[in-house]
A and B are shown apart, each in its own frame.
Chain A
Amino acid sequence: MDPLLFKAILVVAVFGITLIVALYSTFGERKIAAVMQDRVGPNRAGPFGLLQPLADGIKMFMKQELIPSVSNKWLFIVGPCIAMLTACMTGVVIPWGGSLTFGDQVFELQIADLNIGILYLFGVVSLGVYGIMIGGWASNNKFSLIGAIRASSQMISYEIAMGMAIIALVMSTGTLSLKEIVMQQDAGLANIVYQPLGFLIFLVCAFAETNRAPFDLPECETELIGGYHTEYSSLKLGFYLFAEYINMFISSAVIVSFYFGGYNFPFQHELGLDGNLLTIVQTLVFFGKIFCFVFFFMWVRWTIPRFRYDQLMHLGWKVLLPLALFNIFATGMVMWGMGKL
């Protein structure tokens, strides 16, 4: 097979899987919300309500499309597109599994093994704020604007702590490539063992970056109606909501790759599995880990109330940032002590 053809298939597959997972995350979210509140949740469309996301999607398509006459029409349309685009772009550097061998050809289950994968990831994630910012600003609505401003200040604040947490990880692993980080965890222990504090900081920041509760201040129904997507309707609103679920899926994948061994699982080489079969099992294990984190995201959402804005800023700048700096310092000291520097 032509390597380029395989890449094309992989791109389409990753894109499709991402969309399907995001689609069913909306369903999962409603189900999990329901069972945590002693309810049943959607169970009418199809068996166990499994066709509910489809019905939701059709509803979104059929809704009337409203573009406010006072809005900046071009930017109004560009906003959700950027949100969706950046959400989908992050999946490129994630290693979804080992490698598949067909004949004498070896194919890596990773779209692009960038040696600066982490930098790419951060670049794309920080672009994500533009989707929200542009959408909120172009709506020409006070609520949207406040939501957009909150979103941008929140994301910028938490990106710093997130980056600091990653620096400690980069120090201990010595690489910026996601593939290599995952490979190292195959040889040794998962990075959570070396970077527990860094993981905690990264996790909290991931919640803030994906605008999920308890950091969902940009949308904040109780204060800002819908925040940045107040004026949006129909499929453009669907894009914003959908982008959030894609972000959740991708950030779960990133957390797993960084701290929980990626697609590796304990004693994988002792099972005596054949190369391709092992790769498939690894990919399934990877998705299993990701779904655990997606569940965790939802679990937190339906447990904790929203932070107040000053609490959010306090946590970001006065708690997480010093902690992340301390983490870098501590990592450096330990590495120096062990003679690794």
Chain B
Amino acid sequence: MLTNRSKQVVKKEMTIMEKAYLPAIFSGMLITFKHIFMKKATVRYPEQVREFAPVYRGQHVLKRDEAGAERCTACGLCAVACPAEAITMVADERKKGEENLYREEKYASTYEINMLRCIFCGLCEEACPKEAIFLTDRIVPSTFERNEFVYGKDKLVEPIDQRVDVTKRQTPAVLEFKKDKKHKHNRTFLDKVLKPSNKH
């Protein structure tokens, strides 16, 4: 016996009450009738949204820094970390005059996440050294076409005027680390203009 849940089956004759079916049927019908007045389990989705946990892992966002430059430097660590192999990217070199667009000298010219492959584990976010990719509390909307689930930079990078709040996914330690301007990747384009390179 592997578990203690096994039960001895007893093949006993049904009593007259059981044979008559009707008492059992009536008690069953009472149960279903009670359920009419019970609270419904349904969440009427588009109008009514289920409450999310603060650390809910939904659709990804590629963050910009305070000045609006993309943080991603196309190092590929997220793609390596991804257990579902959902992330692909092509790296490119930043041209002169694009400093306000891309934070580092290297950037991702294409960055794609296949939302059908993604398992929303959050390992990409953990792997990212640039605080560039985050999972958010947004739900990936459904579509009819398979290829529409491959999200490019147009859907992943946050618009400058509509920043996506990811503070809930950032632990206090992460936030503290980001304030440290000693590290080069924590300095924004503006910082560099105001206080040009203090070597350490």
Is A268 interfacial (CB-CB < 8 Å)?
Answer: no
Q: Once bound together, how far apart are the Cα atoms of A304 and B29, in whole Å? A: 8
Contact B40 A38 (CB under 8 A): yes
Given known contacts A38-B41, A40-B40, A40-B44, A299 and B28 CB-to-CB distance under 8 angstroms: no
Q: Once bound together, how far apart are the Cα atoms of A39 and B38, in whole Å? A: 10
Q: Give the chain A neighbours of B198 by CB distance below 8 A.
A: none
Is A194 interfacial (CB-CB < 8 Å)?
Answer: no
Q: Once bound together, how far apart are the Cα atoms of A303 and B26, in whole Å? A: 9
Q: Once bound together, how far apart are the Cα atoms of A218 and B1, in whole Å? A: 42
Interface of A, secondary structure class, is loop
Q: Give the chain A neighbours of B25 by CB distance below 8 A.
A: 300, 303-304
Contact A36 B36 (CB under 8 A): yes
Q: Give the chain B neighbours of A302 by CB distance below 8 A.
A: 32
Q: Once bound together, how far apart are the Cα atoms of A303 and B25, in whole Å? A: 8
Q: Give the chain A neighbours of B28 by CB distance below 8 A.
A: 303-304
Q: With contacts defined as CB atoms under 8 Å apart, how many contacts are there between chain A and chain B in the complex?
A: 35
Q: Give the chain B neighbours of A303 by CB distance below 8 A.
A: 25, 28-29, 31-32
Q: Once bound together, how far apart are the Cα atoms of A43 and B46, in whole Å? A: 13
Contact with B along A273-303 (1 / 0, CB 8 A): 0000000000000000000000000011011
Among B23-64, those with CB < 8 Å from A are: 25, 28-29, 31-33, 35-36, 38-42, 44
Q: Once bound together, how far apart are the Cα atoms of A248 and B31, in whole Å? A: 23
Is A101 interfacial (CB-CB < 8 Å)?
Answer: no
Contact B40 A36 (CB under 8 A): no
Is A35 interfacial (CB-CB < 8 Å)?
Answer: yes
Q: Once bound together, how far apart are the Cα atoms of A56 and B200, in whole Å? A: 73
Task: Looking at the assembled complex, report how far the CB atom of A83 sits from the nearest CB atom of chain B, in whole angstroms.
Answer: 28
Contact A38 B38 (CB under 8 A): yes
Task: Looking at the assembled complex, report how far the CB atom of B31 sits from the nearest CB atom of chain A, in whole angstroms.
Answer: 8
Among B2-27, those with CB < 8 Å from A are: 25
Is A37 interfacial (CB-CB < 8 Å)?
Answer: yes
Task: Looking at the assembled complex, report how far the CB atom of A66 sits from the nearest CB atom of chain B, in whole angstroms.
Answer: 24
Q: Which residues of A contact B (CB under 8 A)?
A: 35-40, 43, 299-300, 302-304
Complex A-B: 12 CB contacts under 8 Å: A35-B36, A36-B33, A36-B36, A38-B35, A38-B38, A38-B40, A40-B42, A43-B44, A299-B32, A300-B29, A303-B31, A304-B29
